[in-house]
Amino acid sequence: MKSFDSTTLNFQEDNKAVAKRILFLFSDTGGGHRAAAEAIRDALYLQHGRDALRVAMVDVFKETLFPLNYMPELYPWIVNHGKSSWGVGYNLSNTNRRAKAITNYMYLTNGHRLRKMARLNPADVVVCVHSVIARPSLKAFLTLEERPPFITVVTDLVSTHMFWYDKRSDRCLVPTQAAYDRGLECGLTPEQLRVTGLPVNPRFNDGLVDKLEARQGLGWNPTLPTIMLVSGGEGMGPLYETARAINEQQLKCQLVVITGKNKQLKEKLNASHWNQPTHIYGFVTDMPRMMAAADVMVTKAGPATISEACIAGLPLILSDAIPGQETGNVEYVLENNAGVYAPDPHDVADTLRAWLAEGEAGLKQRADNARQIARPNAVWDIASEVWEAAHQPRIPVQRRNFLTELFEMPHEPLSMR
């Protein structure tokens, strides 16, 4: 049996008897899940001080058997090379019956590891920020004599999968009204659900300095309209083709291209000729200041990036979207006039030409539209929910027959099958 390695911060007893123990369950399948957990953790630190709580973060997939334990490494490749197949799988599994069957199988094959995780991390509250691991992880805590409160923080904006919604969860915090309505449809009660927004790290707001100050600090032209191109921490999608299509337009602007961990992409862009000032970065840790310095963001339709861009007042050109889980994000941005969808690199370039032709007033109106759907206080609301739950008594578990619980299939209306 695989032991928990040093990257898993297990709780140890010490003299900090009053410190509340908070366990975050996530996985590094994309950067948004860890970022959400760290945002909530940092908000709690700022609200209550580090001595008031003790935090453990567990990448649950890393504690499972092959092939699930390789999902953090496989996910970027799957999304880059098999988006259509991913979308088909997402939609086919997105029913109550199928979601329960999949998570039951995950628990059947990995239950002993998940139960060990629950025993080794005696928490006052559990916060899960990943859809696929939510149900099997909660099932593991239900094998204890008493369990801590279990909070699910949904990190998909609109197209929320059935995996997120377990009626045994004590609280389900969702980012949008559409996600709330989906929770009701999946059988949760209004008392379990709350619309909070998506958690963005408190440091993000602190980094949103004045635009001119930000550009001067970064060494960018202080007067040119600034277009930022990003594609997640892994540099996924047609980022190179999009940057080159914009370059062909010879627009009066400057480009900022962030390639994340994709070193080959960064080298390829650095070797290219550019018709406008172009700044190329790899993985960056100063995104708030960069967003403050930009006027437009070109990005895939990731929920965290959309949330941050709206807080920063950046209108969005969505150049790519993962089928299924990000489809609703595109609709959300379009419905609120916070941006457009341009899945072809040349469509992105044409959109930019049109936007820049509108002048400063047009960009300002689009920025205001983006801010209208921002929820900058979401992380504080979520942290307050977590802190309150950490002070609740442990919950006695009513034991059920294991096989009955494992293979019980829910009754569901035909419309959800």
**Residue 3, pLDDT score:** 38
388 and 295 both lie in a single domain: no
**Residue 17, pLDDT score:** 53
- The answer to whether position 13 is within a domain reads no
169 and 56 both lie in a single domain: yes
**Residue 78, pLDDT score:** 82
183 and 243 both lie in a single domain: no
**Residue 74, pLDDT score:** 87
- The answer to whether position 1 is within a domain reads no
220 and 151 both lie in a single domain: no
137 and 281 both lie in a single domain: no
222 and 81 both lie in a single domain: no
| Number of independent structural domains in the chain | 2
43 and 182 both lie in a single domain: yes
Rounded to the nearest angstrom, the gap between the alpha carbon of residue 146 and the centroid of all alpha carbons in its chain is 30
334 and 245 both lie in a single domain: yes
- The answer to whether position 4 is within a domain reads no
Residues of the chain with pLDDT under 70: 1-17, 233-236, 400-417
**Residue 110, pLDDT score:** 97
Tell me how crowded residue 210 is: count the other CB atoms within 10 A of its CB.
11
219 and 327 both lie in a single domain: yes
**Residue 80, pLDDT score:** 73
**Residue 13, pLDDT score:** 43
Distance CA 335, CA 21 (A): 41
Q: Tell me, what CATH number does 330's domain have? A: 3.40.50.2000
Q: Which domain holds residue 346?
A: 203-372
pLDDT in tens, 253-277: 999 999 988 999 999 999 999 999 9
Distance CA 391, CA 247 (A): 55
- Cis-peptide, bond into residue 222, ω within 30° of zero: no
339 and 277 both lie in a single domain: yes
Closest CA to 63 of 109, 12, 99, 94: 109
- The answer to whether position 30 is within a domain reads yes
What are the φ/ψ torsions at residue 283 (nearest 5 degrees)? -75, 130
Beta bridge mates, 128 = 25, 152
- The answer to whether position 154 is within a domain reads yes
Distance CA 148, CA 137 (A): 12
275 and 412 both lie in a single domain: no
260 and 275 both lie in a single domain: yes
Cα→Cα distances 172→116, 154, 188, Å: 24, 7, 9
pLDDT in tens, 299-357: 999 999 999 999 999 999 999 999 999 999 999 999 999 999 999 999 999 999 999 99
